[in-house]
Structure 1
């Protein structure tokens, strides 16, 4: 399963805003610098999040971006949909058997369920116990 940079950076941006929820607003530039990505690219992603009504912006000296809803009301699926992320767990093959297709569907459904039911609050409230980027079975 691969998640594009749009999905990753969009989720990172939303996580930062979730951590800062109700405390302060953040600029795209400051978050882009933290993550080490282009602020122009992140701005394109944020525009998608804004169109989906997940974030709002305020202009001025104390302006910036903030979540439009509490972190427990925004799911990973909401973020991925907003930025056009399409996660494919397994590509089907014409030679897959009925049994294999059953397994691939179960894997797809499991991933979909996790994404649909994991909120930003769930993500920011987890202890920082993982230090690997890749998880292997």
Structure 2
């Protein structure tokens, strides 16, 4: 499964807001600079998050973006769906057997279940045991 930069940056932005939930608001530019990405690209992603009602913005000197809901009420699937992330575990092929399709469906369903049941709060409270690892099957 591959996650696009749109999905990764959207999740990163939401994680930043979750880590500062109820404390402070953040500008797109500050988060983009912190991550080393284009603020214009991140602004497009944040517009999707706002349209999906996951974030809200305030103008002015103390303005910026903040989560519209507590971190334990926003799932990774919510974020990915908001930014149009299309997660495909396995591309089906006309020649796939019934047994193969059964396996691909189980992989898809398991991935979807993890995304649907993992919240921003869950991500915020994970240990650093996975730092610097690449995951291959």
User: TM-score scaled by structure 1?
Assistant: 0.97
Unaligned runs of 5+ in 2: none
In 2, distance between residues paired with 1:57 and 1:10? 16
* Partner SS for 1:21: coil
1:80-91 mapped onto 2 (5 Å cutoff): 80-91=80-91
Aligned to 1:122: 122
In 1, distance between residues paired with 2:60 and 2:26? 12
* Partner SS for 1:66: strand
1:39-50 mapped onto 2 (5 Å cutoff): 39-50=39-50
Aligned to 1:11: 11
User: TM-score scaled by structure 2?
Assistant: 0.97
Give 1:133 deviation, angstroms: 4.7
In 2, distance between residues paired with 1:91 and 1:65? 36
Aligned to 2:26: 26
Aligned to 1:72: 72
In 2, distance between residues paired with 1:37 and 1:133? 22
Give 1:134 deviation, angstroms: 2.1
In 1, distance between residues paired with 2:131 and 2:22? 28
* Partner SS for 1:48: helix
Unaligned runs of 5+ in 1: none
Give 1:129 deviation, angstroms: 1.3
Q: How many pairs does the alignment contain?
A: 137
Give 1:131 deviation, angstroms: 1.9
1:101-116 mapped onto 2 (5 Å cutoff): 101-116=101-116
In 2, distance between residues paired with 1:131 and 1:17? 21
